[in-house]
Amino acid sequence: MTTVFAYAAPSASGELGPFSYEPRNLRNDDVEIKILYCGVCHTDLHKCRNHWGGSQYPLVPGHEIVGKVARVGTSVTKYKLGDVAAVGCLVDSCGNCRSCKDGLENYCENAPTLTYDADDRKDGKRLYGGYSESITVRESFVLRVPSGLDVKSAAPLLCAGITMWSPLRNWKVNSKSKVAVAGLGGLGHMGIKLAKGLGAHVTLLSRSPGKATDGRRLGADDVLITTDEAAVARASNRFDIILDTVPYDHDVNPYLSLLRRDGNLVLLGLIGNIQATPLNTGPMLSARRSVSGSGIGGIQETQELLDFCAAKKILPDVEMIAIQEINDAYERLIKGDVKYRFVIDIESLSKVRG
Ligand code: NAP
Ligand code: ZN
């Protein structure tokens, strides 16, 4: 394949549309994947619209990638042609720092190489994401999709799934834990399913009363509507951990009081500065509560997640779209109108190729 077809954002304000590029040469330790499905993360939207500054265009988003191995380099041993494989948010890291040696490449002290809107570590070539026909990635950053996982709906595990799994594992959530998940979107719905899979008692914290039934259907034992101040006040000292997936600036102080002593509010939304309401240290000091963050996950724990989901039959709830629907999908994402992850059927790109 000499030219790869994709969909790209041309600028922060422009709609995504057809784009083609020359892929990099296959290196000895590379795997080329023909992409079948790619999930749509809220991060894709943040990146395309330059919410954090620094986005470079044309920008091909997509870091929830599932496909089939189409080519392998001469030293590749783990994958062969036709294997179902996946790529998440990372495609490389330094390999030498403490985090990389601990299998936490996501926290590489020399900055991990992200799947898109980044430059290749070796040759500096621009990297494009999964809204594309194919991707070429180092073997050690490719994941194996176990045969028990449905290929069509597995893609969101690669970002939404691992972003929830990593803190659940790091803070040792188990059948005695009381977990709350704030925001029922792509990340949130996986948080509910995975925390339930680990045996925890799970509560959904949502601003949307209309999502209560779905929250329970997805496995939540309880639902707390965050706009109901009286109900929030009654729920103080309840949770060991809150996984907060809200993507925009919001007041986190009410959440802190919901934590038990030693509880932890884990911020996952890529908010930047919390400005709306300053953080009050009172609830932290009065019950040794913490505020922390967590960013995606390492390669080893992502494989662990895929294997766990295959064994437990846990899958994302997806709405399949064609690439031509992506701009509408972004508008729906902003409105919270998705149940609960859009996945692009990459076959639809063939209409662009003609
Ligand atoms: P999403 O599907 O759009 O879901 C976000 C949910 O947050 C919404 O469904 C909504 O749920 C709630 N929400 C509350 N206030 C909102 C507001 N003002 N606007 C929109 N939604 C609001 O997003 P996602 O893909 O799960 O991503 C969530 C955030 O995590 C994004 O900022 C994304 O960039 C970030 N992220 C972080 C990591 C990481 O490594 N930490 C990885 C992936 C994504 P309710 O209606 O139930 O309240
Ligand atoms: Zn993501």
- Ligand 1 atom nearest the C-alpha of 106 is 40
Spatial separation of the C-alpha atoms in residues 92 and 105, rounded to whole Å:
8
Sheet (strand 290-293) strand order: 222-225, 201-206, 178-182, 239-244, 259-267, 290-293
Spatial separation of the C-alpha atoms in residues 311 and 104, rounded to whole Å:
23
Q: Is the CB of 268 under 6 A from ligand 1?
A: yes
Say if CB 13 and CB 56 are below 8 A apart: no
Listed by start position, the domains of the chain span 4-159+315-353, 161-293
Report residue 352's pLDDT band, with 50, 70 and 90 as the boundaries. Answer: confident
In the prediction, which pLDDT does 276 show? Answer: 78
Task: Out of 268, 274, 302, give the residue to mutate to test ligand 1, the one with the largest number of ligand atoms within 8 Å of its CB.
Answer: 268
- Ligand 1 atom nearest the C-alpha of 211 is 47
Spatial separation of the C-alpha atoms in residues 345 and 289, rounded to whole Å:
43
- What are 211's two structure tokens? 């999502």
Measured by CA distance, the residue closest to atom 44 of ligand 1 is 43
Q: Is the CB of 52 under 6 A from ligand 1?
A: no
Cβ burial of 353 (10 Å; 0-12, 13-18, 19+) is exposed
Q: Does domain 161-293 match CATH 3.40.50.720? A: yes
pTM of the model as a whole:
0.96
| Helix 160-170 × helix 299-312 angle, to 10° | 100
Q: HSE on the CB side for 202, CA within 13 Å?
A: 29
pLDDT tens, residue by residue, 224-250 = 999 999 999 999 999 999 999 999 899
Q: Is the CB of 185 under 6 A from ligand 1?
A: yes
Looking at all shown ligands, the one closest to residue 159's CA atom is 2
In the prediction, which pLDDT does 232 show? Answer: 95
Over residues 58-76, the mean pLDDT reads 98
pLDDT tens, residue by residue, 111-130 = 999 999 999 999 999 999 99
Task: Out of 245, 255, 270, give the residue to mutate to test ligand 1, the one with the largest number of ligand atoms within 8 Å of its CB.
Answer: 245
Over residues 75-92, the mean pLDDT reads 98
Measured by CA distance, the residue closest to atom 15 of ligand 1 is 246
Q: HSE on the CB side for 59, CA within 13 Å?
A: 26
In the prediction, which pLDDT does 231 show? Answer: 96
Looking at all shown ligands, the one closest to residue 106's CA atom is 1
Q: Is the CB of 339 under 6 A from ligand 1?
A: no
Measured by CA distance, the residue closest to atom 18 of ligand 1 is 248
Does 205 have pLDDT greater than 80? Answer: yes
The CATH number of the domain covering residues in 4-159+315-353: 3.90.180.10
Q: Is the CB of 67 under 6 A from ligand 1?
A: no
What are residue 344's phi and psi, to 5 degrees?
Answer: -85, 130
End-to-end CA distance of the chain: 15
Whole-number average pLDDT of the chain: 96
Residue ranges with strand state E in 109-250: 113-114, 118-119, 126-127, 134-138, 143-144, 178-182, 201-206, 222-225, 239-244
